Amino acid sequence: MPAISASAPGKVILFGEHAVVYGQPAIAVPISQLRARAIVKAEPRADANQVRVQAPDIGLDADLTSLARDHPLRVAISGVRSALNIDLIPACTVRVSSNIPVSSGLGSSAAVSVAVIRAVTTFLGRPLSEDRVADLAFEVEKIHHGTPSGIDNTVVSFERPVYFELGRPPEALKIARPITIVIADSGIPSPTATTVAEVRRAWQADPTPFERLFGEIGSLVRKARAAIEGGAVDQLGLLMDSNHDLLKDLGVSSEFLDQLTDAARASGALGAKLSGGGRGGNVIGLVAPHLSESVIQSLHTAGAKSTYLTTISPTES
Ligand code: PMV
């Protein structure tokens, strides 16, 4: 049997992180050049039902059953077994690789889960729909994030721009005109679970100002949606700047992330914000394509570890 391969993209959140955990909408887009891949190969000579998992990037080469019960790969593969109602998986090797920086708000954990779930279900001859893959990946996200909204696993599984609100089916976002963004990785790993938990504690201690901030972020996301769907890309810059300010008020920015967003704006970005959990991770800048090189240079000079240029292409729906 030939090896089965599946992949899934990274993502960035354009607007609405953190507030989305509290029921506000958010907008996320896939980043197709950053990908996680899983390859499943049958091992007819191995012991029956022995599943070996390999992730050379992190030095992992182990039997699935030797991993902790809450190891993300074990949870992903057990989720597949329960979803398909099967007890045992025929002997195989599941090999995982990814060029998505980890703990950077670029969706690496969701992309690995989605790639593994797709590859294993296809290997078993029972591929699942995008929304069922997203649901299974959500179970893994709970380990990484504590109380995830579900936006990461959704955008990564659907691989198209989404307007996401907790408890509602994700909506495909219409992109009327191309949107070019520079993504800069601060190189500072920042587990999303930490900032999400901090915001939760702060909200519990003093709900009113936090609920006001969540509401302001939500109304800004609705404006961003109208601008994106109406082709008014120039309006998005100011909205990004405002979103960054509100994230600062939530307490999830840092001096370095502020320096990076300032550097992006000073070199020509129309707007910039942190993206994802914050504190470390990445910032994004909206750029006119002819200024992208200058913004990239300036972000590197300001200390960004790596940058990615991506254009979100127009969609039909
Ligand atoms: O995975 P990250 O760092 O892009 O963060 C996800 C966005 C949050 O809103 C901070 C958390 C969530 O689950 O929505």
Confidence of residue 120 (pLDDT cuts 50, 70, 90): very high
> Residue 17 C-alpha to ligand 1 middle, in angstroms?
6
d(CA 304, CA 283): 9
Retrieve residue 27's tokens: 């907008």
152 is catalytic: yes
pLDDT score at 317:
56
Percent share of the chain, pLDDT over 70: 99
Q: pLDDT (tens digit, 9 = 90+) per residue, 169-191? A: 999 999 999 999 999 999 999 88
pLDDT at position 193, please? 87
Q: What is the DSSP letter of 276?
A: S
pLDDT at position 307 is 96
Q: What is the mean predicted confidence (pLDDT) over 129-147?
A: 91
144 pLDDT higher than 90 = no
* pLDDT of 108 higher than 80: yes
As a dihedral over the C-alpha atoms of residue 23, residue 24, residue 27, residue 31, rounded to 10 degrees, the angle is -40
Question: What is the pLDDT of the chain when averaged over all its residues?
Answer: 95
Burial pattern 174-197, b for ≥16 Cβ within 10 A else e, equals: bbeeebbbbbbbbebebbbbbbbe
Residue 147's pLDDT band (boundaries 50, 70, 90)? confident
Residues near ligand 1 (Cβ within 6 A): 13, 17-18, 20-21, 105, 145, 148-149, 151-152, 192, 196, 276-277, 281
**C-alpha span between 132 and 50 (Å, rounded):** 25
The model's confidence at residue 126, banded by pLDDT at 50, 70 and 90, is: very high
Compute CA 63 distance to the chain's CA centroid, rounded to the nearest angstrom: 28
Distance 48 CA to ligand 1 centre (A): 39
Polymer length of the chain = 317
The two tokens of residue 251 are 């307490």
Structure confidence by residue, pLDDT tens digits, 54-93? 999 999 999 999 999 999 999 999 999 999 999 889 999 9
Q: What is the pLDDT of residues 189-244, one digit of tens each?
A: 988 889 999 999 999 999 999 999 999 999 999 999 999 999 999 999 999 999 99
Phi, psi of 143, rounded to the nearest 5 degrees: -70, -45
Task: Report the residue among 192, 203, 247 best suited for mutation to probe ligand 1: largest number of ligand atoms under 8 A from its CB.
Answer: 192
Q: For residue range 281-294, what is the model confidence (pLDDT) as tens digits? A: 999 999 999 999 99
